[in-house]
């Protein structure tokens, strides 16, 4: 039996990619403004939210965050090694456990589908650019993260287990 992550990657994420590719091909072949307007909903939904971005941006970032579980002796997933990320998390949240608690509390507030993000403020945008600390934020549905630089993204709805 495939794992929940294999199913999510091969079915759910693949559906976004396939549907976006089909919508983009249809858009390229559309010869009238009316035909192009009719395709906008498919491009938006599969494209990741209110603007036309590639449909799988959030999921592609999500897959980069994953590693085989250390608890299953298959990798180092779930183990935060010493280094710049760990240092930034501890500086921003006090401890790694505090970060996990705050992340879980923040993302538990998502109703329905959404994403939880560990972010750093960008140079010109961000909730708290003066602190230079990592922050936790959320986005609804498949909306892309535009206001910050993502460090970690978690698909909350399908993976809130």
CATH number where 143 lies: 3.55.40.20
Q: Is residue 87 part of a domain?
A: yes
Residue 65 lies in a domain: no
Structure tokens, 127: 């909730």
Judgement on whether residues 26 and 82 belong to the same structural domain of the protein: no
| 116 and 46 in a common domain | no
82 in the same domain as 160: yes
* pLDDT mean by block of 10 residues, the chain; 161 residues: 73 76 84 86 60 60 78 75 91 95 93 87 57 86 79 76 51
Question: What pLDDT was estimated at residue 135?
Answer: 92
User: Is 61 among the domain residues?
Assistant: no
Q: Residue 37 belongs to what domain range?
A: 1-55
pTM (two decimals): 0.72
Would residue 119 count as lying in a domain? Answer: yes
Residue with tokens 């998502």: 110
Over the range 85-119, which residues count as b (16 or more CB within 10 Å of their CB) and which as e? eeebbeebbeeeeebeebbeebbeebeeebbbbbb
Asked if residue 63 is part of any domain, the answer here is no
**Residues of each annotated binding site for Mn(2+):** 8, 59, 155, 159
Number of domains composing the chain: 2
Distance CA 1, CA 6 (A): 10
Per-residue model confidence (pLDDT) at position 82: 92
Annotated binding site: 8, 59, 155, 159
Residue 123 lies in a domain: yes
pLDDT at position 47, please? 56
| Same domain, yes or no: 78 and 151 | yes
Q: Do both 37 and 76 map to the same domain?
A: no
Residues 6+ apart with CB under 8 A from 34: none
């Amino acid at each position: 039996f495939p794992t929940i992550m294999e199913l999510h990657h091969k079915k759910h994420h693949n559906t976004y990619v396939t549907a976006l590719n089909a919508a983009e091909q249809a858009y390229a072949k559309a010869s009238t403004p009316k035909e192009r307007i009719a395709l906008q909903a498919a491009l938006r939904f599969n494209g990741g939210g209110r603007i036309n971005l590639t449909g799988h941006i959030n999921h592609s970032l999500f897959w980069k965050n994953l590693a085989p579980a250390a608890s299953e002796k298959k990798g180092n997933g779930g183990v935060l090694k010493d280094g710049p990320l760990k240092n930034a998390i501890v500086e921003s949240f006090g401890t790694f456990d505090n970060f996990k608690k705050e992340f879980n509390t923040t993302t538990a507030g998502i109703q329905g589908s959404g994403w939880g993000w560990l972010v750093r403020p960008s140079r010109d945008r961000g909730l708290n650019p003066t602190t230079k600390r990592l922050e936790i934020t959320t986005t609804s549905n498949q909306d892309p993260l535009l206001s910050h630089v993502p460090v970690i993204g978690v698909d909350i709805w399908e993976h809130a287990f």
